[in-house]
């Protein structure tokens, strides 16, 4: 059985100057200086295709930094104007979608907690009707491929054809080396059901540990995933969110250089 999706190939909407296709940037936009400085360093690596930054952060428990909010859109605009990097943010409500589009954000992503909730996904899908923007859909926090597929279908049914899935691992109560278990089989299953749907790996949220990002990135490329989204911060030791898994732009460049790309067949 194959899913009935109307998808444009990644190459038709992303001109990746480098291989692998790489989205990078801080987990959260914290200050204008942090975001703009990180963006310049990432641009200067010559390895990054788009800049990510969370401005509305879905924290599992209350009382932590919940994102800088809409002002971050202005910082993203400046980062893009100065570096030329297209920008990507997480959207979790119709209002986020409207504000991000109005600010000229180039790529939207649906976070793992949102994908787990069909009401939220439908609200986002409704806000996207009639819009032509790339949307990346993270797997749900729980290992339920149907929820992932359902979210992809809802966004595709809204008319979004520039679609990709992000594999960010699945939460588990078991202790392991990873923050979120990769459960590669689920991503492979999705690939067999939707061979034309690009899958981008998020080794930052899978590992929760910067030391394991290279290992998971290589595994994703070996499995023919089409790209990577990696958190990068100008000074990870003081990051307001996900400090343990962020890497400096220089460390990111080294990590990418060490990856072995698959040779084209033939
Ligand atoms: C993020 O990308 O910073 C994030 C919150 O990720 P996830 O939805 O995968 O937890
Ligand atoms: Mn994060």
Ligand 2 centre distance from Cα of residue 103 (Å): 22
Write down the pLDDT at residue 14.
87
Q: How far is the CA of 141 from the centre of ligand 1 (A)?
A: 10
Continuous segment of H or E residues that includes residue 110: strand 107-110
Q: Judge if the beta carbon of residue 27 lies within 6 A of ligand 1.
A: yes
Distance CA 199, CA 98 (A): 25
Asked if residue 205 has its Cβ within 6 Å of ligand 1, the reply is: yes
Mean pLDDT of the chain: 96
> Can you tell me the mean pLDDT for 79-83?
98
Alpha carbon of 222 to ligand 2 centroid (Å):
24
Domains belonging to the chain, first-starting first, are 10-55+65-258 (3.20.20.70)
Q: How many CA atoms lie within 13 A of 175 on its CB side?
A: 0
pLDDT tens digit string along 231-264? 999 999 999 999 999 999 999 999 999 999 976 6
More confident residue, 15 or 54: 54
For ligand 1, is residue 167 a contact (CB within 6 Å)?
no
| Per-residue pLDDT tens digits for 8-36 | 999 999 887 778 999 999 999 999 999 99
Determine whether the shortest distance from the Cβ of 80 to ligand 1 is under 6 A: no
Q: Percent of the chain scored above 90 by pLDDT?
A: 93
């Amino acid at each position: 059985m194959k899913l009935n999706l109307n998808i444009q190939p990644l190459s038709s909407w992303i001109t990746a100057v480098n291989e692998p296709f790489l989205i990078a940037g801080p987990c959260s936009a914290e200050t204008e200086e942090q975001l703009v400085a990180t963006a310049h360093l990432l641009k200067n690596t010559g390895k990054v295709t788009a800049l990510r930054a969370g401005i509305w952060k879905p924290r599992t428990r209350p009382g932590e930094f919940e994102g800088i909010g809409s002002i971050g859109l202005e910082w993203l605009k400046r980062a893009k104007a100065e570096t030329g990097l297209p920008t990507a943010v997480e959207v979790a409500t119709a209002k986020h979608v409207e504000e991000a589009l109005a600010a000229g954000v180039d790529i939207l992503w649906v976070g793992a907690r949102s994908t787990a909730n069909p009401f939220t996904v439908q609200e986002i899908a409704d806000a996207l009707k009639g819009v032509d923007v790339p949307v990346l859909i993270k797997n749900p926090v729980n290992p339920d491929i149907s929820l992932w597929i359902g979210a992809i279908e809802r966004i595709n049914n809204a008319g979004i054809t520039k679609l990709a899935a992000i594999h960010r691992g699945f939460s588990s109560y078991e202790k392991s080396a990873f923050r979120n278990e990769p459960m590669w089989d689920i991503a492979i299953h999705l690939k067999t059901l939707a061979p034309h749907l690009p899958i981008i790996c998020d080794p930052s949220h899978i590992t929760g540990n910067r030391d394991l990002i290279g290992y998971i990135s290589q595994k994703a490329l070996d499995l023919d995933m089409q790209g990577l989204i990696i958190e990068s911060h100008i000074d990870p030791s003081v990051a307001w969110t996900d400090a343990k898994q962020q890497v400096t732009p220089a460390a990111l460049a080294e990590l990418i250089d060490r990856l072995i790309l698959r040779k084209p067949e033939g």
